[in-house]
Amino acid sequence: MPLNLFRLPCGVIYTDTFSHWLAQRHAEEAPQHPRQVLTLDYVRCRTGAQKGNAWWQLLWTPEEVVPTHRTFKFNDLPVYLPKATQHGLRERCLDCDGGQLMVRP
């Protein structure tokens, strides 16, 4: 199956596989989080003892505190990417393999 890549205006790249995985997670969790926006939080250590390690999590943030200029559409799904997440994922590719999020260089 060919791999389709998409680029957000902030420089984050993602695959259609990731987009489908994200939509599935959203569909499962959204009913418990009314008036909240799905948030992808990502941290990658660049220096120190943890250099090269990375962590991510999906959170729900109240829509009234989410800046619209940091909200991006993965297909039609709005997702909030905090500034640090945007910087950490810039020019990197979000993919999904076996139901697990993968961040590819």
Strand, helix or coil at 24?
helix
* C-alpha span between 74 and 39 (Å, rounded): 12
Given a cut of 90, whether residue 2 has pLDDT beyond it is: no
What percent of the chain stands above pLDDT 70?
98
3-state helix, strand, coil in the chain (%, to 5): 30, 40, 30
Give me the amino acid identity at 54. A
pLDDT in tens, 29-59: 999 999 999 999 998 888 888 887 888 999 9
- Mean pLDDT of all residues in the chain? 93
pTM of the model as a whole: 0.90
Pairing of β 13-15 and β 5-7: antiparallel
Strand, helix or coil at 11?
coil
- The pLDDT, as a whole number, for residue 48 is 86
Name the residue with higher pLDDT: 103 or 52: 103
Given a cut of 90, whether residue 69 has pLDDT beyond it is: yes
Residue 20: phi, psi to the nearest 5?
Answer: -65, -40
Residue 28 binned pLDDT confidence (cut-offs 50, 70, 90): very high
Mean pLDDT across the stretch 85-97?
Answer: 94
Residue 1 binned pLDDT confidence (cut-offs 50, 70, 90): low
DSSP letter at 8?
A: -
Q: What is the largest CA-CA distance in the chain?
A: 40
